[in-house]
Amino acid sequence: MATSPASVDMQALGEKIEKSSAFIEDIYKELDKVIVGQRYMIDRLLIGLLADGHVLLEGVPGLAKTLTVSSLAKVISTKFQRLQFTPDLLPADLIGTLIYNQKEAEFTVKKGPIFANIILADEINRSPAKVQSALLEAMQELQVTIGETTFPLDEPFLVLATQNPVEQEGTYPLPEAQVDRFMMKINIDYPTESEELEIMRRMAKTGKQKQLEPVISPQKVLDARKVVNEIYMDEKVEQYIIDLVFATRDPKKQNLDDLTELINFGASPRASINLNLAARAHAFMEHRAYVTPEDVRIIAMDVLRHRIIPTFEAEAENITSEDLIEKIMSTVQVP
């Protein structure tokens, strides 16, 4: 049940949010040293970090996806691993394996690169199903099994995966079960003309680029997550989230009869949870102690676009999941 505003000291909570969210500006300022534009991508990565949700980034090569993720890890002063997913990658290359020690006549565990805080799974849709399955356990359970032993992963643990558009050669669509584990899927677009001019001026030089300095610790991220949980969400906003998600499953309920034949599968209950969490994280980044319907609307596309599967009829008419979400958002009443 939602907490009533009468039982929450909004002024005290507002001061707490203002104080604990001050580091957001420090992160932006530091990242601006090496990244031009891409504020949308940076915002969504921070929401994923604050809401403890994995993020899937899709875009053609060369749009600073890898640079942005590695830069974020540097400013948080946390352990970072970049994993290049290829068709010949094995689960052991990801999680580790057992190695036989002849001298001791026993097996010892050699941990893999998954044992880090921020994982960049680069070109995840080029890897075979077994590797994706191994990554799935780590993402969902925050643990890894090697042999008969299960090892917990350090927190914060965040998978930021990049994928090339599925139409490209040598790529495979991710299984629905794996895609649903990502809190958000964000589409990265080309920079504007003025941004690209600035990128060219900065990067068209030989030698080392500017070095980034850590501005917060991993512990501060974990502390911020606890504060995000305290942000007030009114029952009307909660109901709005439910209305949006249920409209993807039963469009008729929201007078969207024309979408019934266009949606094959709607969003899972995980979508409601992630919409709630991501909206709270967005409010935190805005230094606010409460969630507005606008917080939900801003992140709804990113949380829902990979969870709605259009029918063959929709695909034949070139109707995408994004088109369906826009229709739903324009129809469902905003509180």
**DSSP track, 151-206:** EEPPSS-EEEEEE--TTSTT--PPPHHHHTTEEEEEE--PPPHHHHHHHHHHHSSS
| Number of domain units in the chain | 2
Q: Are 181 and 80 part of one and the same domain?
A: yes
For the record, the structure tokens of 153 come out as: 């992963």
Same domain, 97 and 235: no
Does the residue 128 lie in any domain? yes
Residue 1 resides in a domain = no
**Whether 41 contacts 188, CB under 8 Å:** yes
- Among 57, 24, 20, which Cα is nearest to 183's? 57
Cα separation, 310 vs 323, in Å, equals 10
Structure tokens at 118: 């921020």
Same domain, 176 and 239: no
Mean pLDDT by 10 residues, the chain (335 residues): 59 84 88 81 90 86 76 86 86 83 78 87 81 81 83 87 68 73 86 80 69 85 90 93 91 81 86 94 92 94 90 86 89 87
Tell me: do 275 and 192 sit in the same domain. Answer: no
Are 180 and 261 contained in the same domain?
no
pLDDT in tens, 18-46: 888 888 888 888 888 887 777 888 899 99
CATH number at residue 55: 3.40.50.300
Specify the pTM. 0.85
In terms of Cβ atoms closer than 10 Å to its own Cβ (0-12, 13-18, 19+), residue 23 is middle
Residues 239-283: tens digit of each pLDDT? 999 999 999 988 888 787 888 888 888 888 899 999 999 999 999
Are the C-beta atoms of 168 and 58 separated by less than 8 Å? no
Two structure tokens written together for 241: 């989230």
Is there a domain that residue 221 lies in? Answer: yes
> Residues near 178 by Cβ (< 8 Å), separated by ≥ 6?
132, 135, 136
- How far apart, in whole angstroms, are the C-alpha atoms of residue 250 and residue 234? 24
Domain span at residue 268 reads: 231-335
